[in-house]
Amino acid sequence: ATVENRKTRLEWVKKVCDVVTIPFAVGGGISSIEDMAALIDLGVDKVSINTAAVKKPELIKEAAKQFGRERLVVAIDGRKNPPGSNLPRLEVVAKSGTESTGLEIVDWARRVEALGAGEILLTSKDADGTKEGYDLEMTRAVAEAVSIPVTASGGAGKLEHLYDAVVTGKASAVLAASIFHFGEISIPEAKRYLKD
């Protein structure tokens, strides 16, 4: 939604809220307290902001105060930069990874926690969609720097990747999409594997 400069589709969100029985978080195209309030009023459990937080960090503080930090996820998209690039090695990127920010990822993670984020959704834009595994270095660096939960995202391709993100990357949780969407692994199978 952010890249397309559009808001979250509220009619779609309402339909999902009416049928799901698990916690439901929504992100994408959320840029104001009013956007968050509209989603929470529909029944959303958590809202996730990314580019809006980078552009206006005080939005994190305002949202945590109004809705409670437990309802606020700050999504952080990161990438690795090569030496000599004059950019942080682990950099925060905005607009779905299309915009450089110059922010160092661990510093930003600490800042969003201090401002009131209840959790972090960390996506490696380098690993996203590769199915070659999460960026364990990035995940661990962020997870060890903050005391709030960190969900690893980007790169899951097999069951071992989920395990590695939690054990080696120190993530509190993992997000995977394409392995489930394309039926390569089932959610019950992933749960059994991680439980064992």
Q: How far apart are CA 2 and CA 6, in angstroms?
A: 6
Structure confidence at residue 185 (pLDDT): 94
Encoding tokens for residue 87? 């950019």
Nearest to 10 by CA among 36, 46, 39, 41: 39
Structure confidence at residue 9 (pLDDT): 85
Structure confidence at residue 93 (pLDDT): 97
Average pLDDT per 10 consecutive residues for the chain, totaling 196 residues: 65 93 93 96 97 97 98 98 95 94 98 99 96 98 99 97 98 95 92 90
Torsion sign, CA atoms 51, 37, 1, 19: positive
The pTM of this model reads 0.93
b (16+ CB within 10 A) / e for 44-73: bebbbbbbbbbeeeebbbbbbeebebebbb
